[in-house]
Chains A and B, each alone.
Chain A
């Protein structure tokens, strides 16, 4: 199957700092990518849709100024958590659809804000 790579796998940062997470489609182009968040023992919830060449769209309740998304190219989307706080600690995972059919997910990033 297609490969989506996410980096870093885990990160610990101090409260008030910013963290950037990268999501790359390695062997296909993705004009759209998706970012999800998962809290412990819960399911995955869509945060935002990353669109190459245009602004990201955010789900209701997701602060666009806190979670900055940039779709820099057809193979790269980044999520920056700005001024992180302990309540932002979570598992973040990206996905990209392959040929408008099956979606593939990155490995996920476990963010801990201390």
Chain B
């Protein structure tokens, strides 16, 4: 099956710093999403981005499907950005949207 890697596994930032989180995958995809899991476990949708670039406030994401990677940019980080960031994707032959999740990046933003 498809393999998903995320880097870095852990990241500690000072408030106000910028960061880039990476998601590599081993096969073509028809759906890729980024999520932020808050301390209560809820998954917050950040981006639906099977290809291209999107921006939402301090966050932006880019997926280069032909090179099988996606990036999530966080600018001017805030303590509320702390949590785990997951990329999740559906393989190219599967339109059911049952996701394969990456292992996550655990972000801690210090005041």
Contacts and interface: CB of A to CB of B under 8 A. Distances in A.
A105 B43 CA distance: 6
Interface stretch (A66-74, A81-89, A95-103): A95-103
B25 interface: no
A46 interface: yes
B53 interface: no
Interface residues of B, number: 21
Interface residues of A, number: 23
B41 A34 contact: no
B100 to A, nearest CB: 8
Contacts of A79: none
A50 B104 CA distance: 25
B73 interface: no
B79 interface: no
Interface of B: 31, 33, 35, 40-43, 45, 48, 86, 88, 95-104
Complex A-B, nearest 5 residue pairs according to Cβ-Cβ distance, in ascending order: A102-B48, A97-B97, A105-B43, A108-B41, A44-B101
